[in-house]
Amino acid sequence: MEQKARVISSTELASEFRYSNPILDDDTAVVFISQSGETADTLAALRMCNEKGIDTFAIVNVLGSSLAKEAKVFLPTLAGKEISVATTKAYCSQVAVLSLLCLKKAMEENKLSREEKLAIENEIERLPLLMKKYIDQTSVEKIADTIQHHNHVFFLGRGLDYALSLEGSLKLKEISYIHSEAYAAGELKHGTISLIEKDTPVITCITNPDLVLKSISNTKEVETRGAKVFLLIREDLYSNLMDASAVILLPKVHDVLQGIVSILPYQLLAYTVAKKLGCDIDQPRNLAKSVTVE
């Protein structure tokens, strides 16, 4: 939203939002994201905003859910019923809807031409074919073969790649029960790098051409400390000079949509590792599809 529409925005944890004394005025809109539409802390935050007269938007997958009914504007993701506790298709649909929302706002703010908006929308329609084409099962299997034997995995990324790393790390820990953490690559030297030792699996994501050199530099820092490095990188940014135990090439799409296609290898990796370990992929222990209590 900030990059394309130049509108000040921030992300908040629903569970923390009500207790942070947020600044909410007539010029504020709040977007709530939920697969089920029944998450307790998200609903509580929505109701607080409604009581204050704030414009509320809900991006929800389940039609007829409480969040969908109570928000002033409902934006359905239309991903279809998702059985597995660990969300995958709903996540991709949420990112797609958020992207369209940002494009709409960018046009209203005269920050995006109609032609560019149409080009991006046409690219959205191509995403399913691109995602099928770039499913690299061989490299995913190779990475999974290594990760399944470790108790700790680290994910690195800069900018939006850090957000991808957070989701990739969450998926892995949710269904394989392997401890994993995601870090902004530029923060490595502020403490995290002390945890890197010989053969520690580190997965780096690189999709931003402006951050390639810095991301590669961070990757080399963990590699020199013995880490086993795996690389997820946009195909046009890859060079044979980049050393990694395995490389997954990602398609180049408009930067607004990059996160949708780039998350797929992370989802497939978590699935593959969990399958190799004999874990219950659809119903991981201690988790529920909807968190209905705070």
CATH value at residue 24: 3.40.50.10490
Angle at 59 between CA 58 and CA 61, to 5 degrees: 120
- Whether residues 154 and 48 share a domain: the answer is no
Q: Coil, strand, or helix at residue 72?
A: coil
What's the confidence (pLDDT) of residue 21? Answer: 92
Q: Is residue 285 part of a domain?
A: no
Domain stops at, among 52, 78, 112: 112
Q: Coil, strand, or helix at residue 129?
A: helix
Q: Is residue 121 part of a domain?
A: no
Q: Could you give the number of structural domains in the chain?
A: 2
- Whether residues 156 and 256 share a domain: the answer is yes
- Whether residues 98 and 184 share a domain: the answer is no
- Whether residues 7 and 141 share a domain: the answer is no
CB 84 within 8 A of CB 281: yes
- Whether residues 93 and 162 share a domain: the answer is no
Q: Let me know if 220 is exposed, middle or buried by CB neighbors in 10 A (0-12, 13-18, 19+).
A: middle
Domain that holds residue 105: 2-112
- Whether residues 216 and 87 share a domain: the answer is no
For the chain, give the number of residues.
294
- Whether residues 71 and 167 share a domain: the answer is no
In this structure, what token pair is assigned to residue 292? Answer: 């209905």
Q: How many CA atoms lie within 13 A of 252 on its CB side?
A: 7
Distance in angstroms (rounded) separating the CA atoms of residues 18 and 256: 30
What's the confidence (pLDDT) of residue 121? Answer: 87
Q: Coil, strand, or helix at residue 256?
A: coil
What's the confidence (pLDDT) of residue 47? Answer: 97
- Whether residues 146 and 199 share a domain: the answer is yes
Q: Which residues of the chain are under the pLDDT cut of 50?
A: none
Q: Is residue 123 part of a domain?
A: no
For the chain, give percent helix, strand, coil, nearest 5. 45, 15, 35
Domain stops at, among 112, 141, 161: 112
What's the confidence (pLDDT) of residue 77? Answer: 95
What's the confidence (pLDDT) of residue 63? Answer: 93
What's the confidence (pLDDT) of residue 258? Answer: 93
Helices 89-108, 114-133: crossing angle, 10 deg rounding: 170
Number of neighbouring beta carbons within 10 Å of residue 289:
17
In this structure, what token pair is assigned to residue 175? Answer: 């269904």
Q: Which residues of 32-61 are buried (b: 16+ CB within 10 A; e: fewer)?
A: bbbbbbbbebbbebbebbeeeebebbbbbb
Which residue reads 């659809």 in tokens? Answer: 282
Number of neighbouring beta carbons within 10 Å of residue 18:
16
Q: Is residue 76 part of a domain?
A: yes
- Whether residues 31 and 99 share a domain: the answer is yes
- Whether residues 181 and 270 share a domain: the answer is yes
Q: Is residue 51 part of a domain?
A: yes
- Whether residues 105 and 145 share a domain: the answer is no
Q: Is residue 289 part of a domain?
A: no
- Whether residues 22 and 148 share a domain: the answer is no
Q: Is residue 118 part of a domain?
A: no
Q: Is residue 290 part of a domain?
A: no
